[in-house]
Amino acid sequence: MASTRDIRRRIKSVKNTRQITRAMELVAASKMKKAQQVALSGRPYASLLAAMLAAIADRVDESHHPFLVERPVKTRGILLISTDKGLCGPLNANLFRMVAEITTPAKFYVIGRKGAQYLSRTHRDLVADFPVHDRVPFSEMRAIGELMVRHFREGSIDTIEVLYPRFKNTLTQEAKIRPVLPLRNLKEYVAGLAASARSGQTAPEDKREVHFEPNATQVLDALLPFYVNREIHQFVLSAKASEHSARMVAMKTAKDNATKLLGDLTLEYNKARQAAITQEILEIAAAQFAAA
């Protein structure tokens, strides 16, 4: 059995660990709440974007726009959204497992230091990595979107896909890969985007007659890059909410384990202390018996 001094040291160490993990849990919970609110606040913009694209969808020829034409996929363009820090459970491991399953030629663009380190370690084609603030300003997302769109237009990549941790709820975040470009069917995309933005509500019928200046095709040319930036922005917002949720759950689990370990160590300390007292009493009684 360990000495009481060693057990006291372990108890002190576990108490410090529990205090740190509890503080990190509270910080992550606060950030998670803010990230969820920001992610939900993007829905009205998505609804408006869907309405604008719906008004254009029936007035353009989809076969001539490079964003809408499906072409042979020689090299995939994948944006990996990971975290800058650890201590968030299996969040990054699930993403990296999906990356390991990608066997087709691909070029990677990364948000998050952990993802960049993994791709460098596995010798994959890393084109660029981007730092993103916790508040996820749209200006940072625009730089990422513009770079990927330029490479897509130049033909160095044939798709734009996003691999990210999708936020379902506080306890569940699942790794997903979502295609962004090309839009194989604009009308189907508009219907899906509108349904997602309305969260299942019935869309009001719009009977207004819309005129486009200078024409619908040029408006679509200007609108689709905004669509790419908006999609990437929304994916990053969801990833941030997943990160803070996973970290909060991981820290809560660590705090609970520390509390349980502290109880076991306290019990062990009391047993060791009781054994030491009993041993001292026996030694005193034995000495008195020998003196008698």
pLDDT given at position 51? 72
The pair of three-digit structure tokens given for residue 215, joined into one six-digit string:
């024409």
- What is the per-residue pLDDT for 276? 76
Question: Could you tell me the CA-to-CA distances from 98 to 84, 91, 122, 151, 166 in Å, in that order?
Answer: 19, 12, 13, 23, 13
Q: What is the 3-state secondary structure (H, E, C) of the chain?
A: CCCHHHHHHHHHHHHHHHHHHHHHHHHHHHHHHHHHHHHHHCHHHHHHHHHHHHHHHCCCCHHHCCCCCCCCCCCEEEEEECCCCCCCCCHHHHHHHHHHCCCCCEEEEEECHHHHHHHHHCCCCEEEEECCCCCCCHHHHHHHHHHHHHHHHHCCCCEEEEEEEEECCCCCEEEEEEEEECCCCHHHHHHHHHHHHHCCCCCCCCCCCCCCCCCHHHHHHHHHHHHHHHHHHHHHHHHHHHHHHHHHHHHHHHHHHHHHHHHHHHHHHHHHHHHHHHHHHHHHHHHHHHHC
Res 63: pLDDT: 62
pTM summary value: 0.79
Between the alpha carbon of residue 147 and those of residues 13, 81, 113, 151, the distances in Å are 48, 16, 19, 6
Q: Residue 3's pLDDT is what?
A: 76
Give the per-residue pLDDT at 61: 67
CATH topology (fold) of 27-248:
Pyruvate Kinase; Chain: A, domain 1 (3.40.1380)
- Mean pLDDT, consecutive 10-residue stretches, the chain (292 aa), reads 78 88 86 82 75 72 72 88 86 89 90 89 88 81 87 88 85 84 68 56 58 76 82 87 87 88 85 79 75 64
| Whole-number pLDDT of residue 108 | 92
Q: Determine the Cα–Cα distance for residues 126 and 119; give it in Å rounded to an integer.
A: 7
Q: What is the reported pLDDT for 196?
A: 56
CA dist 265 and 11 (Å) reads 6
Report pLDDT for 205: 55
pLDDT of residue 79: 92
Q: What is the pLDDT of residue 65?
A: 73
Q: What pLDDT sits at residue 206?
A: 56
